[in-house]
Copies of this chain bind each other. A is one copy, B any other.
Amino acid sequence: METIEKPYVLGIDMGGTGTKFGIVDARGNVLKSSSLPTQDYPDINDYCDALCAAMLKIVDEFGGIKNIRGVGGGTPNGNYYTGCIEHAANLPWKGIVPFAKMISDRMGVPCRITNDANAAAMGEMTYGAARGMKNFIEITLGTGVGSGIVIDGKVVYGHDGFAGELGHTKIVHGPEGRQCGCGRRGCIEAYASATGVARSAKEIIENSSKETVLRKLDIDKITSYDVFKAAEAGDEVAKEIFDFTGSMLGQKLADFVAFSAPEAIILFGGLTKSGHWIMDPIVKALNENVMSIWVNKVKVLTSTLKDSDAAILGASSLAWDIEAQAPMSR
């Protein structure tokens, strides 16, 4: 039996507004967590000081830093290879920030970072629906659409560390594609993200004369949960919104299958809570659009990571890969 000399890891989930962090054991239990307002620290040094002080306080409750194998961080534009946050649009710190090194220096243990979606994929493989899988794709459906691609048991980082931007592959080519947040047009993110669903809802409601409970809501603030409630109540327009969204996403998933032939595609995020209303059209479009060798062969699953802990868990899972003795941040 393997002896785990250092039984815990730390996970950091950095967002533009807040940063969550926690201590995690090898079974994927978040033993304790806390948070910090990212926006309150215009200087990255102050932010790292405050974050590490808060983490060390938790660490002390669990036997001190000698019990910590390392720190994993899921950060906007986190580059796994360099340990740097590179030109993140929604963070207070501009340019290139050597975040992993700054944390590692302060904590005295190694630190690895990547972006949120890759962290989610790592978490899924370590603690979630992808346990035991070597080839799968994690798709995060949130404010944006992110992805973490796992091939032969490893997250794909590519030549520069930024592989796996499947949210920014195109489902509509040409000028009729929807404007995407990345500055281009027609990306699947513009259709399958939270704002994408809201835009589809608006378009479908405005272009339809059908009766729908959704018409009573502020048309610019409809969420996938509103559409879900309406679909559950039998609203046909709500079903149409899910059918359209699922069809767009499923068609694109067929492309992803042709790329890496995954065992499963795992969907993570708020949209998946709409259950069969969104999953059925996704699976239908996927199977209508993959090559015959893959029809009904690729599992489409929803994440089993606990919602409140998922991001910390995903980030923390990066730290299990770090050899306990060798500082790996660079």
Please list the residues of chain A having a beta carbon within 8 angstroms of any beta carbon in chain B. 134-135, 149, 151-152, 154, 156-166, 168-173, 182-184, 251, 254-256, 258-263, 289, 291-294, 297
A135, B151: Cβ atoms closer than 8 Å: no
A259, B261: Cβ atoms closer than 8 Å: no
B255, A169: Cβ atoms closer than 8 Å: yes
B258, A168: Cβ atoms closer than 8 Å: yes
Question: Nearest Cβ distance between residue A278 and chain B, in whole angstroms?
Answer: 19
- Residue of B at shortest CB range from A160? B261
Given A151-B151, A254-B170, verify A165-B260 contact (CB < 8 Å): no
Can you name 18 extra interface pairs (CB under 8 A) apart from A151-B163, A259-B260? A134-B159, A135-B158, A135-B159, A149-B260, A152-B154, A156-B261, A158-B260, A158-B261, A160-B293, A163-B259, A163-B261, A164-B259, A165-B258, A165-B291, A168-B258, A169-B254, A170-B251, A172-B173
Chain B residue numbers with a CB within 8 Å of A135 are 158-159
Chain B residue numbers with a CB within 8 Å of A152 are 154
B182, A292: Cβ atoms closer than 8 Å: yes
Alpha-carbon distance A134/B259, docked complex (angstroms): 17
Q: List 17 A-B contacts (CB under 8 A).
A: A151-B158, A151-B163, A156-B260, A157-B261, A160-B261, A160-B293, A160-B297, A161-B261, A164-B259, A164-B261, A165-B259, A166-B259, A169-B259, A170-B255, A171-B173, A184-B291, A259-B259
Chain B residue numbers with a CB within 8 Å of A183 are 292
- Residue of B at shortest CB range from A291? B168
B159, A262: Cβ atoms closer than 8 Å: yes
A182 in complex: contacting residue of B134, B156, B291, CB < 8 Å: B291
Chain B residue numbers with a CB within 8 Å of A182 are 291-292
